[in-house]
Amino acid sequence: MVPVVAALATGTIIEKYHGNEFATEHVYASWWFILLLALVAVGCIAAILREKMWHTPHRMLIYSSAVVILLGGGLTTWTGSHGEMTLLPGQPYDTYLESDSTARRLPFSVTLDNFEVVTYPGSHSPMDFVSHIAVDGETADISMNNIYRRQGYRLYQADYTPDGSSVLSVSYDPIGIAVTYCGYLLLIAGLVVMFLSPRSHFRRLLKALPLLLLLVGGTASAAPSTLPRQTADRMGRIMVLYKGRICPLRTVAKDYTTKLCGKATYQGLTPEQVLSGWIFYHSEWADEPMIKIKGAELRHQLGLDGRYATYNQLAPQLSGGNIAMPGSTEGIPDKKRRAAEEKVNLVQMVANSQLMKIYPVPDSTGTIGWYSQNDPLPLSVDSDEYIFIRKQLGYCQELVVKGDYETLGQVFDKTCEYQQKKAADILPAPSRIAAERLYNRLTTGRWLYMLVISLGLLSFAIALYSPKGGKGKWSLFNSRLAFGLVALLTAFLLLIFILRWIAGGHAPMAGGFDSMTLMSMVISIVALCTARRHPMAPPIGLLTMGFCLLVAMMSGSNPPVTNLMPVLSSPLLTLHVTVIMTAYALFFFAMAGGVAALIRPALRQTLERTNLLMLYPAVALLALGIVIGAVWANISWGNYWSWDPKEVWALITLLVYLYPLNMSQRDGHSSTWFHVWCVVAFLSVVVTYFGVNLLLGGIHAYN
């Protein structure tokens, strides 16, 4: 497998610098790579015959599935066809272009009657793209995750043009998909038999595992002026159009504060107080050193003494997207420079009310748009409403100067009533608003995550070095305390997960923060379910959850809930992410067990059995997750495998973890090397999850 892993990894690096088409042509579709895969298939067949695997049905099914899946991929390459066709309204088309610009004829003609972009209520963010077509007199609709099939051809919604044309993907794969899916079914059947068969290695390990305990600063300055907490809270109840969705203004305030200073609160002030401060006391806040600037070189070029700067320090140098400063800007990372510019632009958007799209106004057709105070308004707006929109914030400013916060709060309440009157049909349900407000309140601090990782490190160290083989009073107390902490944290994360689901209207599994939170929950469930048999599981789980939550915090510090991209609105996405994250969580447990075994040699044999019990379901779940992802991709894009870096590295991870499973079944294998492999192999998970997103890119990458 080493040549295959090396070839796959090389292909992802080549794609990084030369693109997917180049990598496909020179690596994945090259004669030598196809020969390499053919040798893998021959090796699987030889192993089946040599080891007479028909006596062990689960191995027979798994090895056979690899052969069938490889055969299906070959048939897709040799007999299939993929391309695109652009449809102008009212004109019939019966040809499409493949990636090499070869024209292919369809056995039928397609006419676009109308193309429609369906948006989320009250916003311009697309919820779906729909092509209304006619095929030889038969009408049909093609949309995201809703394909059209005819005579072996499948048409998918791919793109559209501003003039109303629709771009469809065309897929023709009469044999390859069916054969590949048969391979998937064989693989799933083999995994099921492996876990159920009393003769499998996994079941023997499960029976043999003993039921014994296992061991394994500066001075803060006074905050600038702002609204009283209660008044600011009433302002936060106003709804606003933000990032393509209608949400409470508190969500904007939280995101704004986090973007500027790296956390959702500032000197004890709530996000609403911070945002209201920048709105009504701009001159004071412009001199407040709260804008966090990353990068020592950038801070030096900007003439900053510390990590934080004031708006007045940054605006003259960063406004307009340029760094107007003495000296060269070479060597300053573009990402850090753009981040600093974005913060300055964000403050300017608050100053000119661009972020405050709080006025729902219907146009002449009755379509409701959301506008800020300074936006051009529809001609259908009457004079009274026009004056209200243009003058309201000015009136609020007068009340702030007078200190009449009670009247100001009433104005905010009246704004909510105005929104309810104008846009009641498109406003989120009260339950969704309440869920989002509660979610925002529960996720404004970082102290919880830092506390979890600190307690996790302490608990893991105590469990690892506890005397009396883990049977002492303090060892048992440590395990029980860790169990309680994991249980409490699990309940908290589950609440956060449910609130995000309710607020967003979809399962929160489409981003880095969401997936790391899900992984933390999966880890906690594994730790709690195995705690009775493995008292070291809660300390390991607590430590692992701490690291996962730390990564989630670093990846965006609780990014705002957003509408889901149309292609991601599939239940297969939820299942795919859940299965993959569970596999990664189990791999982390195996890695932690490997570290413990290398530190405490006396525990290596016992921890090897524990790690194997983690690796079998982890590898099975990873394989299943890849299969689910392939089916999802086939439904969404018409291609079940595109050699994207995320796909490739998931496959590499699967191959890497197959080695310790095979190693463990050989007589006389080294337990030390098994644990070393478990530790080192986790690097493939790190590359798959983080390296692809940060370095390699691809269609699966997210920030």
Each residue's pLDDT tens digit, 264-283: 888 889 999 999 999 999 98
d(CA 512, CA 514): 5
User: Which has more pLDDT, 536 or 4?
Assistant: 4
| Predicted confidence (pLDDT) per residue in 285-344, tens digit | 999 999 988 877 888 888 887 888 899 888 887 755 443 333 333 344 466 777 788 888
Q: Report residue 569's pLDDT band, with 50, 70 and 90 as the boundaries.
A: low
User: Which has more pLDDT, 105 or 380?
Assistant: 105
Q: Which two tokens stand for residue 87?
A: 């449809």
Q: Report residue 227's pLDDT band, with 50, 70 and 90 as the boundaries.
A: very high
> Who's near 620: CB < 8 A, 6+ residues apart?
191, 194, 195
pLDDT at position 524, please?
Answer: 85
User: Which has more pLDDT, 524 or 67?
Assistant: 67
| Predicted confidence (pLDDT) per residue in 86-98, tens digit | 999 989 999 999 8
CA atoms within 13 A on the CB side of 55: 5
Does position 2 have pLDDT exceeding 90, yes or no? no
d(CA 556, CA 248): 20
Q: What are the counts of helices (DSSP H) followed by strands (DSSP E) for the chain?
A: 24, 14
User: Which has more pLDDT, 243 or 678?
Assistant: 678
pLDDT at position 263, please?
Answer: 82
pLDDT at position 122, please?
Answer: 59
d(CA 292, CA 207): 55
Cβ-contact 590, 656 below 8 angstroms: no
pLDDT at position 319, please?
Answer: 58
Q: Which two tokens stand for residue 557?
A: 């510090």
Give me the mean pLDDT over the 141-158 stretch. Answer: 87
| Predicted confidence (pLDDT) per residue in 383-398, tens digit | 888 888 888 888 999 9
pLDDT at position 72, please?
Answer: 92
d(CA 254, CA 601): 49
pLDDT at position 210, please?
Answer: 43
Cβ-contact 276, 154 below 8 angstroms: no
User: Which has more pLDDT, 243 or 398?
Assistant: 398
Does position 215 have pLDDT exceeding 70, yes or no? no
Q: The whole model's pTM is what? A: 0.63
CA dihedral 197, 198, 204, 206 (to 10 degrees): 80
